[in-house]
Amino acid sequence: MKRYTVLSGAAMLALSLAGCGAKGGSVWSVLLLIPAILLLLLALLQTKSYFDYCKRQREKGRREPKGMQPITWLLYGLAAVLLILSMVVNQPAKAPEAEALPPETTEQTADTAPTSHAGWLTFSADRELTASQYFVYDPEKGFVNASGETGEKVYPASITKLFTAYVAGQCLRKDMLVTVGDALDMVYPGSSVAELQRGDSLTVSQLIEAMMLPSGNDAAYVLAVEAGRAMGGENLSVADAVNTFVTEMNRQAKALGMLNTHFANPDGIHQADHYSSFDDLALLGALSVQDPVLLEYTGMANDRVNLQSGSVTWKNTNALIDPQSPYYCPHAIGLKTGQTPSAGSCLLSAFTYEGRTLIIGVFGCPEAEDRFADTLQLFNETIGY
């Protein structure tokens, strides 16, 4: 018994010391080894005391105890547990496997990837447009490209706001102050807004900006109500004022030659009887680039505005005119994005290049970014890039 106990204690002490001195030992390993060694030393002291006691008993002719006290075995056990734990945590971490490389392919994906050319993205001829409908229009030469008949129906979504701004500008002075009120009740829940609050006072120009940059439906209804009451009387209800304004939108559209267009609201929320055509939207685009206020705001990337309800930042939804966007093009000067489930992601844009103006429309794109890529591709093809 004596020999077995001493040997086991000595072996455990040697293993502990060896583990503590091993190179690359982790901090947790050392922290576990220190109490393990202390417990082992205590157990060895208890063992020595037991053997000394047994020796004295034999010398006196007395009976020796049957075994060491349980506390001694407990100390050995705890020391063993800590030693095992220290060896476990000291195992080197398994090196991560190298990331598997994709199998070789004969597809030349780089050929269809966009590249930067002369400061904006260009695409290879292999890229397919995502838009279900599109056109390219030159105000001096007419249509130079289109996906179908120029009179075919298309849903304009928030591109509508260009005409809302145009008609409101015919009825109201641009510097006229308008106070936001119950017109907010007309805004479709969850639609895009400029964060206007009741009691805010903005000029007509600021409300146009609020429509053009963040595509604020709240600004569209505030303008529609104000212009509707200017035409039909101050006592008109909000709903009647909006109807009066929309009626004027349709009257002016026909007067301008937009014969395949019918408006049902001032913000572009989808309704079956709210539609336009390539012909009419091309005309609207050409009309917009001749309006200094519309051209200023549709070409503005962002603006910080102080309202009575607080300061807000309006960011243009058109990535083509944002210098921080990967879709930025220095030749883009506007105009307006749109998006509804029925219209998809759409964009009516305007470019100037070497003295030439181009109006490009894309409709029915599956993703918001697709409308910018499609537009740039059509622009590049038209100017020969």
Active-site residue list? 158, 161, 215
Neighbouring CB atoms inside 10 A of 298's CB total: 30
Q: Which of 108, 39, 37 is nearest to 78 (CA)?
A: 39
Q: Residue 172: is it exposed, middle or buried by C-beta count within 10 angstroms (0-12/13-18/19+)?
A: buried
Nearest to 320 by CA among 292, 366, 358, 290: 358
The helix-helix angle for 217-232 and 238-256 (nearest 10°) equals 90
Torsion 120-122-128-134 (CA) sign: positive
Residues in the chain: 385
Rounded Cα gap, residues 194 and 231, in angstroms: 25
Distances (CA, A) of 148 to 125, 136, 308: 20, 11, 48
| CA–CA separation, 302 and 214 (whole Å) | 9
